[in-house]
Chain A
C-alpha cells in the first residue's frame, strides 16, 4: 500500500477515474475528512471552497489541486501556453476575464493556505471532457446533433481557434504520476491530451465516432453573424491551447489515444435536449440551405455585382504602377477640354502579356502609367482622310513610326511599347498620330483586338520556325495566344498538343496533363515536339516542357524560364506588334479564318469599365476585354 488518498470533488466520471487510478497505484481511498497522505482537491472553485478544502484535508503529505487552463488568457497566441505564462501579473489587465481571475484567485489562495505547511502540486488541465460546465463536451454534443441529424456542419469562414482538452484518464494519470513525488512538490504542471483541435477536426472526429458521412458548409462571416449563430466554447478556447509539462512524461505519464477516445466518446454520448441549440440549429439549417441553393458562383468576367457609377465625364484612366499589381485603378477624371487631332475614343481595351508583365514589375518602370497597348479606337474628330471621324482603328503599340520627325511619340527617337514605356490607351479620350493608326473595317470590329496577339505569333518566331519542320507542337497555357498558335499550327498541318500541370477539358482545345505526356514520351509512345510555347509563365511548366522538346528544338515563352533542358533553344515571345504591316496582315488573317473558324469565340466577355479587375479573370482560350459602353 502506498498510502491513503482522498479525492474531493463532484461525483462524476473524473471522480471515478481518478479513484480507480489511485487504487490501481496502491492507494486506499478515504472519505473526505479522513486523515490522508494524498489529498486531491477538485472542489476548490472559489476562495471559500479552497479554505473549506484545506480544513477538511488536514495535514496530508501531499496536496494536489486540480486547477484549470482558465488561468491563461483566452487570447490568440502562436505558441501554446506554458506554466510560466501565467506568472505574469495580469489581474488588472483588461483581457483578464472573470474565469481567469477566479482561477488565479483560487490558485493563489491554495498556495497561501499551504505555504510552508503542505507540499502542493497544481495541475492545470485543459478542458476536462465530461466535467460539469465543460465546454468540450458541449462542442462534442453540438456536432453530434448536427452530424446525426443532417450529416452537415456549418462553420464560419476563418479565424477560428485551436484548442485542447484533457480526458479524465489523462488527469487521473497525471494525479498518479505526481502523487507523493517530492520532485513534483511546489510545481505547476499543464495537463492536456495530444489532440490539437479545430472545430473542423472536432466535427470530423465526431463523424468518425458516429460512423456517418459529413459535409461542411462555410458561411461568410457576415452571414454567420447575421444569422445569430455562435459556436460553443469559443470564448475560452484559446486558453486551453497549452503546452503539456514535459516533466509529466518523464514521470511516466502518457495521455490516452485521442482518436480512439474522441470517437468513442462521440459514439457513447447521450444527447440532452437543448432548446437553445434547437433554435440555433434551425437558423443554421436555413443559412446552409440558402448558401447551398446559391453556391458561390465562379467569378466570371463582367458579371455585374454592383451598378456602375454614373460617369461624370467621358474621360477615364486605367492607372497602374509597375511592380505593384494591386495599384491598378480606374480613375475618372474631369472632362478634357481640348484633345489634339485626331481625337480618339477608346471603345475596347485588351490586357495582354505586356500589361501583365508590367503590373508584375517585370519591366523596369517608375511612375504611373495609363495602361494598355492594344485597343479598338473610334475616331472622334480628325482631319486625316485615312482615318475619318466615325471610323474604327487599331493603334500601333511600338515606336518609332514611319516618320519619326513628325511623330508625337517618336520625335525623340526612343523605342518602346506604348502603355509600357509611356502612357498607353487606357484612357477615355486620347490621341495618337494618324500614321500610327490601322483602319479597321466595321465587319472586323468584333474581333479586331485579336490582331495584336496574332501578329506577335505569326511574326515573332525567328527563321520561319512555324514552317521549319512538320514536328508536333506543344502549347502550355490556356490564353487566347494558345488558341491562335494552335490554329496557325493546324493550318500548317502540324499536330498540336495542349498541356498544363493538370488535365482540363475544353471542346476545342482539350488540355492534357504535362507529366502524363512526358511519361508517354519516355515510353516512346509519342513523337518529341520540335516547337513548344509556354504561356503560363510558371517554372513548374517551362522546365518539364523544355525536357520534352527534341534537341535542337525551340521553346517560346513570355517569361524567362529559370532553366531549360540542355540542347534546346528558348526565345522570348514578342508582346506587341511592332509595325503597321503586321497588324494589317493579322486583320487579313482573321478575316480569312472567319470563313472557316469561329473567330468570335476567341474574344472573351466584355467587361464593363467599372469592373476593370475582371479582365484578368482567366477565360480559357479567349480574350476578355474592357468595354466603354457609354454613348
Chain B
C-alpha cells in the first residue's frame, strides 16, 4: 500500500508514521521540516509546501497513492491543491480533524453527528473559530470531492514529544522546543512542591494517548465500512485538573499537595500562570462509542500515565515552568491565611474503592478453608461463568492434571505495604475471579506476607459469594526470608527471633535472605497456610532455589533440593499442599555452566527419589515457574536442558516431563513493550499483544501477570488474535 502522510515530522504525525510503517504501508511523508532522524531512513520525504499548487503538481505528476493521511489541513485552501495535484489518483483520504468543532460551554458529551458540516466563511474569524469552522469546512470539501474519506477527531492529545503549549494562549512549539503541555503537571509533581489549582475550576475534559490516535488512524484505514464517517478519538476517562494531578502523582508513587486559590486572587498577583488544560467552567467531553464499535479501544490511563513520566525524566524548564516559584509562594501564602487545614480530597483513580483492609490484612486467618482445586469444580466454574455472562470474553484455559486453569493468572508481587495497595489487590482479585481468571499466584515474601493475606481475604470473599474454593488455583512460594509486615517488631529482630534463634536457619542464611533448609521450608508452608487461610495450597514453589548454588556448591545443592523435596512430599501426603514446583529466575534460562543453572531433569530425579523415600506413588513435582516474555525468549529458543542425549529449551523439557509451566515477568515487569508488537494486534495495545503472544505458546500453561487494577484484568480477558502465529512472534524483533 502506497501511503502519503502530510505532516509527519512531529508528535501525532510522527506517531502515525510509525504505526503506518509497522502496518506495512509504503510511506511517503510530505512536510517542510524533516521527519525525526530515526524515521527518515524508512520513508520517502518530500519537502514540499502544500500551499504551492505548482510544486505539488510537479511533485505528484504520475504518482498514485492508495491512502493519503492528512494531519495538517486546517482550511479548505490547504486541501484543494493536494486534491487537484492528485486528482483521480487517491484511493482514500484520511484527515485529522479535532473535537474543537464541538461547543465547550454545555455540560454534555458530544457525538459525531451533533454538528453541522458545511462550507463556512472563514474571513474575519478569531483563531479559535477559524480552527473549528476551518476543520468543518475541510470535511465538507472532502465529502464533496468524490474521494473516499474518513475524518479522525482527536481530543486533547497527550504523550511524549508533545509539541503544543497549553492554556492560556496555546500554540504549536517550534522544532527546537522538545516538549509542551503533556509535561506541565509532570514537572510539578516531580519537583515535589505544592500544586496551585484554581478553586473555581469546573473544567471537565477528555484526553487521548498519542499512540491511540495513531492506532485509530491505521485501524480506520484498514476498514472499508469507515469510509464517509467521522470519528471522535477520545480516551474513556473524564478528567478535571485536580483528578489528573492526583492520578499522575499516584502513577509516580508520590504524594501531592494541592492548594486551591480563587482565580481573582491569583489574577491579582499578576503572574502568568494558567493550568495547562484550561480552567474555569467548560466541558470538553466527547462520546467515543462509534469508534469503539469498530474494534478500537483506548489505552487505559493507568497504562499511559507512567509513560508520561518515563518520557520526561527531568523537570521541563522550557514551557510553562518559569512561574513555578511564584506558584509555590502563592500556595504557601494561601495556606498561611487559611483558618483551618484543608480537608483531604477523596482518593482517586480506583474504580471501586474498597476500604484499606489494614487491620484485617495484618491479622492471620485462624480457620482454614478446606478443599483444593478440583477438576469438577474448576470446569464447572468455567461453564457457570459462560452461562452467566454469555457475551463476556471467555478466558482461555489450559488443563493441569485434569483441572481447568486459566491461561492468565493474577500475580501479586509488586506494591508497598500500605492499605491502599492491599485494597487494590483485593478488589482486583475479586474482579478477576468473577470474570473467570482462576489462578492466583503469591509468595510469603511478597509485600512481607501481606500479599498472602490479601489473597486469603479474596478467597474468603469469593467463597462467601458462591465461588467455591475448589474452583480456584492458589499458588505460593517459600525460600526467601522475610519479616511479617503485621508484626510490631523491627524486621531484623523478627527474623533473628523467629528464624535464627529457633534454629530454622543459620546466621549466614539470614544474611543472604534465602534458605532451602528443610525445617525452614516446613515452617514457611505452615505460615503460608495460615496467612492464606487455606487447608491446602494448590501449588507450593521453592522460590528461586538457584540462590543457594553459589553458597553451597552444585553437588550439595541437589542434595539440599532433595531434602527440601522430602519435606514437600510429606506435606503433599498430609494434604497441606497439592503439589510443588520450582519457581526460578535465572536457573532454567542460563547456560549450563552458569553458577545458577539448574537441570530440570536432575530436579525431576531428585523429586522421584524424595517421593520414594516418603512412600508417595507419584512425585509431587508438577510445575515450574520461569520468566518468559516477548523479549526474554530463552525458555523457548535456548537449548540448555539435557533430555537424554538431546539438548532442548526449558519449555520443551517441561513438556516432555509433563510439568505445567507458569511464566513470570510476562509483561516485562512493567517495562515498555517493544514497538514491533504494534502491527501484531491492530487496534490493541502492545501489552495486550505481548500477553497474547506468550499465552499463544502451547507449552505455556499459565502466564502470570501482576494485576493491581481492574483495567489490567480487562486487558487480560480480551486477548487479541495476533496477525501471526504466536511462535513466529518470538522470531521477530531479534
Contacts and interface: CB of A to CB of B under 8 A. Distances in A.
Interface in B255-275: 258, 260-262, 264-265, 268-272
> Which has the most chain B C-beta neighbours within 10 Å: A158, A244, A323?
A158
B126 interface: no
Interface in B526-556: none
Given A75-B352, A87-B389, A94-B355, A620 B191 contact: no
Given A76-B346, A93-B352, A299-B265, A195 B108 contact: yes
A246 interface: yes
Contacts of A194: 108-109, 111, 287
A218 B200 contact: yes
B262 A218 contact: yes
B300 to A, nearest CB: 8
Contacts of B285: 196
Interface string A526-545: 00000000001111100100
A38 to B, nearest CB: 23
B430 A89 contact: yes
A539 B178 CA distance: 12
B349 A326 contact: no
Interface string A160-196: 0010000000000000000000000000000000111
Given A78-B238, A78-B348, A362 B341 contact: no
Given A216-B200, A540-B165, A89 B321 contact: no
B269 A617 contact: yes
A92 B340 CA distance: 36
B199 A359 contact: no
Nearest to B467: A89
Interface in B287-322: 287, 289, 292-293, 300-301, 315, 317-322
Interface string B240-263: 001100010000000000101110
B236 interface: yes
Given A323-B191, A618-B270, A159 B336 contact: no
A325 B322 CA distance: 12
Nearest to A295: B264
Interface in A230-263: 241, 244, 246, 249, 258-259
Interface stretch (B72-80, B149-157, B168-176, B501-509): B168-176
Contacts of B318: 539, 562
B326 A563 contact: no
Contacts of B427: 88
A617 B262 contact: no
A327 B106 CA distance: 42
B339 interface: yes
Nearest to B428: A88
Interface stretch (B11-19, B138-146, B327-335): B327-335
Contacts of B108: 194-196, 258-259
Contact of B333 (A197, A244, A617): A617
A324 interface: yes
Interface stretch (B22-30, B51-59, B457-465, B630-638): B457-465
Contacts of B337: 297, 305
A90 B355 CA distance: 12
A611 B336 CA distance: 9
B315 A361 contact: yes
A223 interface: yes
Contacts of A324: 191-193
Contacts of A204: 107, 281
Counting chain A residues whose Cβ lies within 8 A of the other chain, the interface size class is: 35 or more
B332 to A, nearest CB: 4
Contact of A504 (B237, B270, B325, B342): B270
A390 interface: no
B338 interface: yes
B400 interface: no
B434 interface: yes
Could you tell me the dominant secondary structure of chain A's interface residues?
loop
A196 B238 contact: yes
A447 to B, nearest CB: 23
B106 A618 contact: no
A159 B350 contact: no
Nearest to A241: B238
Nearest to B464: A92
Contacts of A205: 107
Given A77-B351, A201-B281, A563-B177, A84 B392 contact: yes
B239 interface: yes
Contacts of A162: 204, 238
A89 B322 contact: no
Contacts of B435: 87
B354 A299 contact: no
Contact of B434 (A88, A222, A299, A501): A88
Given A223-B339, A563-B177, A616 B329 contact: yes
A296 B107 CA distance: 28
Given A162-B238, A537-B322, A614 B315 contact: no
B269 A298 contact: yes
B342 A222 contact: yes
A200 B169 contact: no
Contact of A196 (B194, B283, B329): B283
A143 to B, nearest CB: 13
A77 B201 CA distance: 19
A618 B238 contact: no
B197 interface: yes
B697 to A, nearest CB: 29
Given A198-B107, A220-B338, A296 B434 contact: no
Given A159-B346, A614-B333, A89 B289 contact: no
B431 interface: yes
B170 to A, nearest CB: 10
A306 interface: yes
A504 B272 CA distance: 12
B345 interface: yes
Interface in A43-95: 73, 75-80, 84-85, 87-95
**Which 8 residue pairs spanning A and B have beta carbons closest together?**
A326-B193, A298-B268, A201-B107, A222-B340, A305-B336, A537-B322, A299-B333, A616-B329
Interface of B: 106-109, 111, 165, 169, 171, 173-174, 176-177, 191-194, 197, 199-202, 204, 236-239, 242-243, 247, 258, 260-262, 264-265, 268-272, 281, 283, 285, 287, 289, 292-293, 300-301, 315, 317-326, 328-330, 332-334, 336-343, 345-355, 389, 392, 427, 430-431, 434-435, 461-462, 464-467, 710
12 contacts: A75-B353, A95-B355, A158-B242, A194-B287, A220-B260, A222-B339, A241-B238, A325-B325, A326-B194, A539-B318, A613-B333, A615-B329
Given A89-B467, A92-B461, 16 more contacts: A73-B352, A73-B353, A76-B350, A78-B236, A79-B300, A87-B389, A95-B355, A157-B200, A158-B199, A194-B109, A205-B107, A222-B338, A259-B108, A501-B272, A538-B320, A540-B319
